[in-house]
Amino acid sequence: MIRLVDVRKSFGEKEIIHGVNLTVNDGETLAIIGGSGSGKSTLLKLMIGLIPPTSGEIWVGDRNIAGMEEEELDEVRLHMGMVFQYSALFDSMTVGDNVAFGLREHTALSEDEIKKVVAEKLELVGLPGAENMMPTSLSGGMKKRVSLARAIAFSPEIIFYDEPSSGLDPIMTTKIDELIMNTQKALNVTSVVVTHDMHSACRIADRIAMVVAGELVTCEPVEKFRQLKDERVREFLSAAHIV
Amino acid sequence: MTSFLEKLGAAVIRWLGLIGEVVLLVFDTFRALKKPPRIRHVVSQMAHLGVDSLPIVALTLFFTGAVMTLQIATEFIRFGAQSTIGGVVTIAICRELGPVLVGVVAAGRVGAAITAEISTMKVTEQIDALRVMATSPIGYLIVPRMLACMMMVPVLTVFGDAIGVFGGWAVATGYSGVSSLTYMNSIDVFTKAHDIVGGMIKASVFGMVIAILGCHMGLKSPDGAEGVGIATTRSVVASIIVIFMLNCFLSLILFSK
Ligand SMILES: Nc1ncnc2c1ncn2[C@@H]1O[C@H](COP(=O)(O)OP(=O)(O)O)[C@@H](O)[C@H]1O
Ligand SMILES: [Mg+2]
């Protein structure tokens, strides 16, 4: 479970996140939706400890990661995986080495065992046998999938996705959405998906949280979210032709 | 006038801030050495960095040794001191010119390459990806580069020293009319192991400066594609300035007796 308590974040003088309270339950898929620049990525980075909050508490399980030292954070992060907006694959390494990275760093598995896990995870994201390809030779959708394979290689309990379908065509978007749902089922993980795509959010999420200009407007189950009368929510829904 | 003072003050504060951050990074990097470094990465960095710089180091030092000999040989011969030419050239190269020039060349080649690579990794969120996978960028990226530079720059310096002395020999014997034997003999008489070792110690410190500043500027690069270029320029300029300043202090410590 992740719980944000009155979390604020400023960059320099400027406050970007204005006191957010949010809970992510175990095993659910939460979508965080909002316009570009509203602070979605910043929220995600706060949850995974990539940036410290200016004030407030961020509970991951029974540990408050706000203000934790990097070494302590690393223990928490071993239970998390993240798919970055632009995939963030290590472009000096092959796909296989990218997926194997966490296993090589943090386990004593033999190369044979690592190979097996890598093959299995690549299979799971629909890219069997891609081990020896270089990231630069992959399409955007393939990169996203390798990034997911890398994120789940270590069998995390929580997976964060930052705009998993941005920059992809509608068909690939649907595929990635299915992949997120399948991963959730196969590994029984908690997923937090940041997106500006209302369709994706409705398809994959159990609950949808909406962020506008660094404030959490609402966080409701999908069905209830679609019925909300809040103007900002209506605007987003009608822009996506969902209403 | 006040606006000039304001700008000056801001620049001083920026520099002090930079020094503070860099010193902290040096501490963190040495602290990360508690864990055994990734030897494979160190070696591949050394190969990469060394090969990159060899040709320019050779060219730079050859012509420096040559032109210096050209200037001093005429004067020294006039005063009947041709038997000291080889020694003077060698000492100047080993103690000062070798380490400083190799440092400057390495700042331009190696430091720039390090900053470009790391700032690209930052802009494309690869640094964040490392951290999310519970891997410290300091241990994974900075430690191998620092160790590689601290070992590779001295090696390059010794190589450069030899080329520089050879450049001096070429001019002394081929142009100034000093015999090869006199030149060699004078090296033997005047140069001590300490001149070379001291120069290598300097070079090792410069290597550390290049790697740490290169990594720091990369990690702190401004966002966006143009951030890479800005960071790279900053890294090279800062390294060269620091190398010249540190060189003065190191000479006082190493060679003033
Ligand atoms: N490291 C940073 N330094 C300064 N401002 C930042 C930083 N990261 C994000 N911001 C600002 O915070 C706001 C929200 O950014 P972000 O969380 O990336 O939005 P989103 O992901 O919703 O598009 C933007 O105005 C952005 O300029
Ligand atoms: Mg974003």
Q: What is the pLDDT of residues B149-204, one digit of tens each?
A: 999 999 999 999 999 999 999 999 999 889 999 999 999 999 999 999 999 999 99
Is this prediction's ipTM beyond 0.85?
A: yes
Question: Which of B155, B165, B238 has the alpha carbon at shortest distance from B203?
Answer: B155
Q: Is the pLDDT of residue A208 over 80?
A: yes
Instruction: Look at A48 and B132 and tell me if their CB atoms are within 8 Å.
Output: yes
Among chain A residues, the shortest Cα distance to B140 is held by A105
| Ligand 1, atom nearest to A34 Cα | 22
Residue A172 pLDDT: 87
CB contact at 8 A, B167 and B160: no
Q: Is the pLDDT of residue A137 over 90?
A: yes
The whole-number average pLDDT for the span A195-205 is: 91
Taking the CA atoms of residue A166, residue A169, residue A170 and residue A171 in that order, the dihedral angle to the nearest 10 degrees is -120
CB contact at 8 A, A32 and A90: no
Regarding the beta carbon of A51 and ligand 1, being less than 6 Å apart is answered: no
Question: What is the spatial distance between Cα B218 and Cα B107, in angstroms, rounded to a whole number?
Answer: 14
Q: What is the pLDDT of residues A8-34, one digit of tens each?
A: 999 999 999 999 999 999 999 999 999
CA distances from A131 to A87, A112, A122, A160 (A): 16, 14, 8, 23
Residues 6+ apart with CB under 8 A from A90: A97, A98, A101, A135, B126, B129
Residue A147 pLDDT: 95
List, for chain B, all residue ranges whose pLDDT scores fall below the cut of 70.
Answer: none
pTM: 0.90
Could you please report the per-residue DSSP string of A136-180? Answer: GGS-HHHHHHHHHHHHHTT--SEEEEESTTTT--HHHHHHHHHHH
Residue B50 pLDDT: 84
* CATH 3.40.50.300 is the classification of domain A26-53+69-239: yes
The beta-carbon neighbor of B124 closest among A45, A88, A105 is A88
Residue A237 pLDDT: 86
Q: Give the DSSP H/E element, type plus range, for residue A30.
A: strand A29-33
Nearest CA to ligand 1 atom 17: A39
CA distances from A150 to A82, A90, A124, B59 (A): 9, 11, 11, 45
